[in-house]
A and B are shown apart, each in its own frame.
Chain A
Amino acid sequence: MSNQNNSGIIWLIILSILLGVLLSLQMKQNIDDYDLVSLKNIQMMKNEINNIRKEIDDIKELTENKKKELEKLKTVIDDEDEDISELLQDEIDKLKLVSGLEDVQGPGIRIIIDDNKDEAVVGEQINDDIVHDADIQIILNDLRKAGAEAISINGQRVMSRSEIKCGGPIIRVNGRSSAPPFVITAIGDPKLLYAAINAPNTHGWLLREVHKLRVEALMKDNVYVPKYYWAEQDFKYAKPKKEGE
């Protein structure tokens, strides 16, 4: 009797262990599965799909434009009376405008950024009270995000090739030095641009509220942004890519 009871208990123990192992295996598998497709991953994927859709739309529009251009070019070439140079001149004017070689005006904002002039030092270091090149770069990036079409700092047009570099007390833009206060002028949708500087947690807000720098933004109906002064008018290193390479 006691012998039979014992073997029953042994069986029970073996089965319990088996159950435990099986359960833990099952759980492990499930958790792995969940891990692979976290909500964040899906969100990111969706984001990327949206971006790629936008890109496709852009390319389609660009293709349409180019097709029209090609048609026009063909008719001009076939037609003896018309002059191709006019067409090319139009293209040059358009390129000059987009590449920043023309003075432009339009609605936008004007931002004034200056060092913290108070006697007391707010941050732990005096560095926190000064406008840095990195601050200006982030603000410019924020403005581009908000769709700025033309930007200048203290009268210097900001281009893809413009450097914003600290040099002691001054900041260099396009090879020219300027001292604070920095006046940034941007053309675009004034409300969007204003939000890019003033909305909570933007870099402009951070500079004003945390570092107590002077950051003032003014929406304007009409601002003026000068053209980029392109001294050399040529490229030393960058050449158009040759066909078939």
Chain B
Amino acid sequence: MQKIAYPKEQLHRIAFTKLTERQIADKLAAARGPTSASPLSDALAGRQARIVTDNGPELDYRFTSKDRLTLAENGGRAVDAAYGALTLDNVVLLTHLVPGTQRGYHVVVDRDSRLATVFEVWFSGFTDNREVQREVYFGYVAEPGKAAPEARHALTNRAEGKGFYWKQDNGVETLEFYPSTFYSNFVELSRLGGELGFCAPSDYVKIDDERYVYSRVECEFSGVQTLYVFDVNRAEQIGVRLGFDAGDALEYYVFKGSGEWLGQIAQFERFGDTAATPMPAPTDGQPLAKGARRVYRPMRSGWQMSKEEVAALTQKNVFGPPSAMAGNRSPISDFLVGKELTLAFDNGVAVEYRFDAIQSLRWRHRGESRWNEERYESWESAPGVVMFGHLVTGAPKLDCYKLVADFDHGLVTCIHGTIGSEYIANEAQAETWFGVIEMAGITPPKYRRHHFTDELVGRAITWNYSPGLTSMHLYTTPHSLSWIIFGESGAGGMEWSGPASYVKIRDELYLAYWLEEACNGTLGTILVNLRTMHDCGIGYHCGRDGLRLSSMGAHARHAGRFDVAKYYRLKT
């Protein structure tokens, strides 16, 4: 019996239906309110509440039972609706849709302070109708005879850097990381088998120093929203999930959950900066549009090419002038110059090399007579460990080899890159080959090889490529990697992720690659040296400007580590 439910397609490969407004309206009309695996709270039953928000709606609620309410918005006509509520100590989360509309509210109230955070949510507000839109309002519960409190909940960076394992009352298990002030990273352990981490634009609201509201919308995927209140100390949550799943069924439920604290990685804002990263105002002076948020939408930039376009490509840029990604690259090495050797891999591929000059090599597969000339670059990351790469002229899929050879131990690993996946014709793919170095003076091992490792998993490392260009890698799972762009304040900002793989070369020396699948198709490969805190690497990309093999290089800083490796191990 299979114990892990892997999906047929991962999130970034699912062709989510472009639901129409009519389809969404029909599905919402059929909903009877949020479901719940746990009993709904009756904390609000029989009560009334007027919630006043700053620059937002005034909501007059009358809770007729634990699952029915009436709502009058801004003094308008009251409507009946189903709702669900859960409590986490003094905090109440209630959620409902507004009948006859594609809107709804998720309301978080701190009953002690009377402060409230209101998420107004709606469908059909973007090109992709199924993507939940949201606007966040802060306010309070008005009580007759009492002055309005001056304080408010607020967007915050105080949740930045935290990570949790969560298990909901319905059995859903996730790992969730908050390395940004407006994005987050989630690993669906139970829904998707925990192979990959994915990223979504997110909101973080501070209730107090222990409790926060987190909300993400899976933009560019299903468009589902997951919102919860969580207690940092106790790792407990109450939440709501709203949206349409891969089968277009409405997911609308509330949940309780508990979890484990995974750790805290570094923040890079100035000391004393506890603010959020506000959405920048439009340059034309207009106010922000309702629901405005920063969303990375890589599949809408038109980078994808047809097979015919790829086949017609003639332009190649092999280690041309360094880009901003190579501003801090290491010097090119002459270690290989003059060497003659064979790299013999366990899959039967053996490649003979003659390194004629510092940027010129010849290669041929064993058994061939004709040599192929290629331009290459190499870097000696640690004594005796050289990374180099080159195109494989004549190969059927615009192939490249990116290699790390350890001459002290006679070992080599090749990341074999090719162009074209079953989804996108100009998207890079990769496979990893392990093998040995055969050359005069080296007797390679018969059994020992470089090997895949999870030693990097959970780590966060910043990479400064050149002035103004710094990102952070978060090695979220053994098979995926996330990258976070910093804002001007040093706060984590835009984030995205892709499939990845990690190979241990030596202690504190790792070969990593990541695929920017459904992103821009690049295969990035870096040799991470955690002693020099410097990497060397090679980018491989196919676009309308041709096939490109380019150097990369950045200075690193440790940003901390989440304790997550145990969640990925296979259990009996």
**Interaction A to B:** no
Chain A residues close to B by CB (< 8 Å): none
